[in-house]
Amino acid sequence: MKPQHHTTWDDAGPSLQEIGSWPLALIHLHQRLAPYFARSEPRQHALLYLQAIISEIPRKNSWQIAEHAKQARPYGMQRLLSRAVWDEEGVRNELRAFVGECLNPPPEDPGVAHQAPYPVHVIDESGFPKRGTHSAGVQKQFCGATGQVDNCQVGVFLSYVTALGHALIDRELYLPEDRITDTAHRQAAHIPETVGFQTKPELARCMIQRALSASLPIGWVVADTVYGHSTDLRLWLEEQGLSYALAVPSNEVVCVQTAQGYRICEVASIEQQALGVQDWQRLSMSLGTKGERLFDWAILPLVVHGTVDGCHWLVLRRCLDDPSEKAYYLVFAPLGTSLHTMVLAIGARWSIEVDLENAKDLGLDQYEVRSYVGWYRHITLVMLASAFLLGICVQESLHHSQPEEQTTSPPLIALTTSEIRHLLARLIWPAPSHAPLICRWSWWRREHQYWAGYYHRRRRLKAG
């Protein structure tokens, strides 16, 4: 039987008083954005936008966001993403600084000493399926959301991971080369003339460079095969002195040192040629909800410029349930770095998947904008809302942490960002229930849908 506890909600925390203070934290974060807005009206709309994103409205599009904000029309929210004058890059910088403050507390704070290999910067991409062809950068390409080639936009993201938590801190919209060279598409999507074609690894490099320029600590950089396969990205990271653990495809050709001498081969063939049972170690790369994420690992020195320098390695990962399922990583790290540290760095990669999933719960993929700047503005505001929830999560975790033997609270997991959002959505920013407003929006939607159908039918008649 489970032990019985007679603890009140306030004892378990957070108290209603603490929850009531959370909106003030959002106001303080919003005040930091003031220098990036030319006028007070769009700045106020940004605060209402953030509150609506955190709420539980079904979809985070301009109509439902405006209705949640108790506005009679969606035009103000649409203008916020399109024509309003504000600096979304400056807001992005403020977001990055805020996350750094949350996840890198002063070292004198008790109980928050950083563990190797933190902080880790994780690169990944996410697809945004689209029906039409007018959104900036949209075309048929691989979409992670559907797992196949689909009509979509693709964003490249950077997540910041420390022992205290993790959050998205940067983003770039991938623009395929044939979309960049399509003048009509550029004009329709309002893509600036200064924006040229960049590969996904080049976009990742830009985001890492911005983090470096902002003096954000970087322990490791990790990413999947799209980025690990890029020799240019790997060389650039080495030039910056940044440790990395980058996945590579199974057909990546490397030169490794084995007991039999140097071997040049595809990474997928190395186990059969050079590894024995004794070369594998069972290590956990992170702690999941179901326990330790255990895999078998092996490591071999890489031969770089004809020599083994003790800094370049090939790391192999083998699944316990299905030994035929393997992954391969090229690692660059300081002399003496242990395999366990490399494994922990690799394990940090799952954090960005959680960050993207949480951000999509906040409406990351629910925008209805087509323009280049509109994409950046919506994505940035969603990331900012997610960072705000992370800040509350970290604050509550540090505030309520105490030695296990002293606690009288029932057994609870730590507050999560999704649980904090649920409390805010239900207690602080619920959906409006003002009858005249709801009826007015019903009328507006039906009128808008009538005219949209009318003009659609008229265009089809003219085309026929």
Name the percent of the chain lying above pLDDT 70.
92
| Within a domain: 108 | no
Query: What gap in Å lies between CA 26 and CA 388, rounded to an integer?
Result: 7
To 10 degrees, what angle do helices 88-103 and 200-213 make?
A: 70
pLDDT range class, residue 368, cuts 50, 70, 90: confident
List C-alpha distances in Å: 147 to 66, 137, 257: 33, 19, 36
Most confident of 37-46, 255-264, 406-415: 37-46
| Residue-level pLDDT at 404 | 47
The model carries a pTM of 0.91
pLDDT range class, residue 117, cuts 50, 70, 90: confident
| Within a domain: 89 | no
H-type helices in 230-349, by residue range? 231-239, 270-274, 339-347
CB count within 10 Å of CB 6 equals: 7
| Within a domain: 281 | yes
Instruction: Please state whether beta strands 291-301 and 281-288 pair in parallel, antiparallel, or not at all (unpaired).
Output: antiparallel
| Residue-level pLDDT at 110 | 45
| Residue-level pLDDT at 260 | 85
Handedness of CA 362, 366, 369, 372 (dihedral sign): positive
| Residue-level pLDDT at 439 | 87
| Within a domain: 342 | yes
| Within a domain: 294 | yes
| Within a domain: 259 | yes
| Within a domain: 145 | no
CB count within 10 Å of CB 298 equals: 20
| Within a domain: 164 | no
Residues whose CB falls within 8 Å of the CB of residue 53, separated by 6 or more in sequence, listed in order: 60, 65, 362, 363, 381, 382, 385
Indicate the DSSP class of residue 316: E
Digit-coded pLDDT (tens) for 147-182: 889 999 999 999 999 999 999 999 999 999 999 999
76: left (phi over 0), alpha (psi -120 to 50) or beta: alpha
Query: What gap in Å lies between CA 4 and CA 7, rounded to an integer?
Result: 9
Q: What is the DSSP string of 138-188?
A: -EEEEETTTTEEEEEEEEEEEEEEETTEEEEEEEEEE--HHHHT-HHHHHH
Structural domain for 276, as ranges: 241-346
Residues whose CB falls within 8 Å of the CB of residue 82, separated by 6 or more in sequence, listed in order: 369, 371, 373, 374
pLDDT at 142 over 70: yes
Q: Total domain count for the chain? A: 1
